[in-house]
Chains A and B, each alone.
Chain A
């Protein structure tokens, strides 16, 4: 029973982690809470669904196309709604992000209607594999495997490539990085693209897992993923993954313990408790106050 819930929790947590990575990377570089990120996650789920139902594509191809689509979308959103506000107050950029979020979710409502839609059953053949008392489905294995691959890939990009080095430099000090000849605008665009494509992958996986894609799925998932990012210490990439796994596991455990009507509160209760003990999250950088 415990093992079973642990498997379910880690699966959910892996998806939260994927979405949280986008929040944490963007925050790490331009200190913006990108509220439109949940909507990009939703868009990814819909694009994947369209590819599978309308164009009858293989799910893996659909996943890659959804990631590519959302990558472009993230870059465009940054260009239109955030770049003009780069030098104004952070709250203005936050409101702009909220505007984008309202715009995108309404657009999805107009295009796809108010009802939740599901992926067709034959999209991905689900079989149960028994491990001792628990069982894990092939879909859960896919989610875990794919999230792990994407996270390792991200780590490699951030730590082994030139653009990753530029990203780290920009997040440490935006202005100095620009003085050192780093094209900061390109780095920021790249960060948005990368984060958005991860969110899209999360969207397709969530759509498959819960078999429901709807126009308003982005809000709660986005908030919880943001909570995961903060829990792990916002700005820290391993922190986001850890925070996601942590939140997902506790949420499922809480539901299993009979608190299902409090489901949405569990994630936030844990977040608040952790913040009270460790004010900058689990793996956050210590904030130094300069006088």
Chain B
């Protein structure tokens, strides 16, 4: 089985394969942030920091103990979630943009701490050995990605997910309805950080070299762009956003040094013409119903 997958991976164009894997990792990160920012409505400007916790944990576990990769990823995700909880617990009571700037602040602090720790090799960064698994990385990443997509879909459509949406729409009204908003916000934050940790672990082993500066403010912003561009709170939107924004810089590569210039302008234009994101306000269930000719259930008024 593993040999077959390996031979498939070898037969593919390595450049395309790399973009493909990057999209998978981006989807995991975007879905994690989507849960915090899109569904619960808490603007998080430091998501890359939790990713860096996961990335460094996974890298160090592989270097020191060489545990099986799935166990490794779970530990990395859990640790990222714990760090997220430790940060989220005091600051989730801040409202609106004060929360946003506090996440940004903690992200910068974590980055600087990683830049000064011996175990993360300071500013030199870590070279990460191949993970302890027989499945080739591209398939492993996409396996995890699909698991995450399914898991997040269940979360969003559950009682828990509806409580989060209620908090986003109106926190006071949600509390009046008996939703413990502090607890739900913390839980959503922890799940988002868990996904960021897993994404970070995959990223570390796929890129094979990590440096604290890779997880700076601009990385957080990249992830946020995917979520907002796709459409806040929409899972297909986050997937599409992750895909588009991972491919766009590669697609613009022929412009060499003008690439980021066009990328910046593109962000502005996309926002001006689709302010709610590419899939904002698009309901896939309704579209499917329309295609198959089913009437939507009429709501009693």
Give the secondary structure class of B's interface. Answer: helix
Evaluate contact between B98 and A280: CB separation under 8 angstroms.
yes
* B residues in contact (CB < 8 Å) with A: 37, 43, 90-91, 93-95, 97-98, 100-102, 104-106, 108-109, 111-113, 115-116, 172, 217-218, 221, 224-225, 228-229, 232, 257-258, 260-261, 263-268, 271-272, 275-277
Q: A101-B264, A223-B108 are in contact. List 4 more A-B contacts (CB 8 A).
A: A95-B267, A96-B271, A103-B264, A265-B108
Partner of B275, one of A89, A268, A276: A89
Give the secondary structure class of A's interface. Answer: helix
Evaluate contact between A269 and B115: CB separation under 8 angstroms.
no
Also in contact, A98 and B94, with CB within 8 A (given A89-B275, A107-B261, A219-B217): no
* A residues in contact (CB < 8 Å) with B: 27, 31, 33, 80-81, 84-85, 88-89, 91-96, 98-104, 106-107, 109-110, 219, 223, 226-227, 230, 234, 261-265, 268-269, 271-272, 275-276, 279-281, 287, 289, 291
Partner of B105, one of A93, A96, A227, A261: A227
Also in contact, A98 and B109, with CB within 8 A (given A92-B228, A227-B101): no
Also in contact, A99 and B97, with CB within 8 A (given A85-B272, A92-B228, A110-B257): no
Interchain CA distance A262-B267 in the complex, whole Å? 33
Residues of chain A within 8 A of B113, CB atoms compared? 265
Give the interface centre of B43, B172, B271 by most chain A CB atoms within 10 Å: B271
Evaluate contact between B104 and A223: CB separation under 8 angstroms.
yes
Interchain CA distance A126-B210 in the complex, whole Å? 43
Evaluate contact between B275 and A92: CB separation under 8 angstroms.
yes
Residues of chain A within 8 A of B276, CB atoms compared? 88-89, 92
Q: Can you list 22 residue pairs at the A/B interface with Cβ under 8 Å?
A: A85-B272, A85-B275, A92-B271, A99-B264, A99-B267, A99-B268, A102-B263, A110-B257, A110-B258, A219-B218, A227-B105, A234-B98, A262-B116, A265-B111, A265-B112, A271-B105, A272-B106, A275-B91, A275-B101, A276-B91, A281-B98, A287-B95
